[in-house]
């Protein structure tokens, strides 16, 4: 059985959902990052970076979200990661967009909110970070004006990870603009039983589709 170290509603939720999609049982280990549990000596032995997610699969410990998702989807032959080309490469590209572009854009906003001193410089930095985030969501909206999901007519793991990340918007210091096509995608994704199960288990309310 898998063991997943997670924080409710964080990027680790995408791994939780992927395991649900693959009908895989998992032991969940909650890590309260806000309470500093990620920085304890015990957790640092599991992940020296002090972050989630961490997936334990037998003797293997995987500590990067995108790597974990690819590992699960390939191991269980899940259609959320297509096998054939060019669909596979497109699905990987958009998965990496969510993991390596959209996620860090949110992280910058949270970092500035947390550590930047009050004043004009902080406001300018927050404005610039939020503008970049809105540009990314506009790119997504334009793509979804042509198709229901990021990679076409079929859902992939990228859509699920993006939907998880979008729910962080309400915690930002500036409003984020998400278009109607994108919100429609969110609604379709959160209606999936695997997503609903993860929301219920982690006790997370989904607000980004409103």
pTM exceeds cut of 0.85: yes
pLDDT of 25 > 90? The answer is: yes
Tokens of 6: 């997670």
Enumerate the β-bridge partners of residue 78.
Answer: none
DSSP 118-166: SSHHHHHHHHHHHHHHHHHHHHHHHHHTTSSBTTBSS--HHHHHHHHHH
Same domain, 168 and 93: yes
Same domain, 95 and 188: yes
What is the b/e burial string over 125-141, where b = at least 16 CB atoms within 10 angstroms of the residue's CB?
Answer: ebeebbeebbebbeebb
pLDDT at 116: 86
Among candidate residues 48, 75, 102, the one where a domain is terminated: 75
Among candidate residues 75, 110, 134, the one where a domain is terminated: 75
pLDDT of 156 > 90? The answer is: yes
Sign of the alpha-carbon torsion through 19, 20, 25, 30: positive
Phi and psi at residue 6, to the nearest 5°:
-140, 160
Q: Helices then strands (H, E): number in the chain?
A: 9, 4
Same domain, 111 and 166: yes
Same domain, 59 and 94: no
- The CATH number of the domain holding residue 123 is 1.20.1050.10
Among candidate residues 34, 55, 75, the one where a domain is terminated: 75
pLDDT at 100: 97
Q: How confident is the model at residue 117 (pLDDT cuts 50, 70, 90)?
A: confident
pLDDT at 193: 98
Same domain, 38 and 70: yes
- Segment 24-42 shows an average pLDDT of 95
Same domain, 176 and 124: yes
Q: Which domain holds residue 109?
A: 87-192
Between strands 2-6 and 54-57, the pairing is antiparallel
Q: How confident is the model at residue 167 (pLDDT cuts 50, 70, 90)?
A: very high
pLDDT in tens, 175-202: 999 999 999 999 999 999 999 999 999 9
Number of domain units in the chain: 2
Same domain, 106 and 188: yes
- The CATH number of the domain holding residue 43 is 3.40.30.10
Same domain, 71 and 97: no
Same domain, 105 and 163: yes
pLDDT in tens, 54-92: 999 999 999 999 999 999 999 999 999 999 999 999 999
Same domain, 102 and 33: no
Q: Which helix (H) or strand (E) holds 72?
A: helix 65-75
Same domain, 92 and 188: yes
pLDDT at 118: 87
pLDDT at 107: 96
pLDDT at 115: 84
Within a domain: 208: no
- Segment 24-36 shows an average pLDDT of 95
pLDDT at 121: 86
């Amino acid at each position: 059985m898998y063991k997943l170290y997670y924080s409710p509603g964080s990027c680790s939720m995408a791994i939780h959902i992927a395991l649900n999609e693959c009908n895989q049982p998992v032991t969940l280990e909650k890590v309260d990052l806000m309470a500093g549990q990620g920085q304890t000596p015990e957790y640092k032995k599991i992940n020296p970076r002090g972050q989630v997610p961490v997936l334990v699969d037998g003797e293997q410990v995987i500590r990067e979200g995108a790597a974990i998702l690819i590992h699960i989807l390939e191991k269980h032959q899940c259609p959320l990661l297509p096998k054939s080309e060019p669909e596979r490469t497109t699905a990987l590209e958009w998965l990496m967009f969510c993991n390596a572009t959209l996620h860090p854009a949110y992280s910058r906003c949270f970092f500035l909110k947390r550590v930047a001193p009050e004043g004009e410089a902080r406001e300018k930095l927050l404005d610039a970070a939020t503008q970049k985030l809105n540009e990314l969501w506009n790119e997504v909206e334009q793509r979804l004006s042509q198709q229901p999901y990021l990679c076409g007519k079929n859902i992939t793991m990228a859509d699920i990870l993006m939907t998880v990340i979008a729910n962080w918007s309400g915690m930002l210091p500036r409003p984020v603009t998400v278009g109607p096509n994108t919100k429609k995608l969110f609604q379709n994704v959160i209606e999936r039983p695997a997503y609903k199960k993860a929301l219920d288990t982690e006790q997370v309310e989904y607000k980004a589709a409103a």
